[in-house]
């Protein structure tokens, strides 16, 4: 391996790092953890936004998103997963589970009832 090849490899790695940073760096993409029951679980804190606001799950396995609403601001009292036909009321300072099984890979936006707060569910293929 000569210096040129090493340079190309390093350049390629830097490019990959840059692409990852560009698309994911600003937001926090977090993968759901699969419990023993086989359910992909993740806790989402609702406070002026969703944290994490990018959630990665696998296709074809049940998902449970535990939304903990850590505020009383009316903006966040509802969460809507339009692609899954889900609209749920989130009582303040309580955890509300939202359960479904994503059958198709893709990116699905979820929002508050006013479409102001946004998050993204990324469903990856098997």
Residues interacting with Cu ion, by CB under 5 A? Answer: 75, 112, 114, 116
Q: How far is the CB of 35 from Cu ion (least distance, A)?
A: 30
Q: Which residue, 19 or 116, has its beta carbon nearer to Cu ion?
A: 116
Distance CA 14, CA 115 (A): 36
Q: Which residue, 75 or 86, has its beta carbon nearer to Cu ion?
A: 75
Half-sphere exposure of 46 (CA within 13 A, CB side): 31
Half-sphere exposure of 44 (CA within 13 A, CB side): 33
Q: How far is the CB of 56 from Cu ion (least distance, A)?
A: 24
Q: How far is the CB of 49 from Cu ion (least distance, A)?
A: 10
Q: In whole angstroms, how large is the CA radius of gyration of the chain?
A: 18
């Amino acid at each position: 391996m000569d210096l040129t090849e090493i340079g190309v490899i390093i350049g390629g790695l830097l490019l990959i790092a840059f692409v990852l940073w560009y698309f994911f760096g600003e937001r926090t993409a977090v993968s759901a953890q699969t419990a023993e029951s086989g359910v992909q679980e993740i806790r989402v804190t609702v406070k002026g936004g969703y944290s994490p606001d990018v959630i990665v799950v696998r296709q074809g396995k049940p998902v449970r998103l535990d939304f903990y609403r850590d505020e009383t601001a009316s903006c966040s009292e509802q969460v809507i997963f339009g692609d899954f036909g889900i609209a749920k009321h989130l009582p303040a300072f309580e955890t509300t589970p939202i359960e479904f099984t994503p059958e198709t890979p893709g990116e699905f936006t979820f929002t508050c009832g006013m479409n102001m707060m946004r998050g993204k569910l990324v469903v990856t293929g098997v």
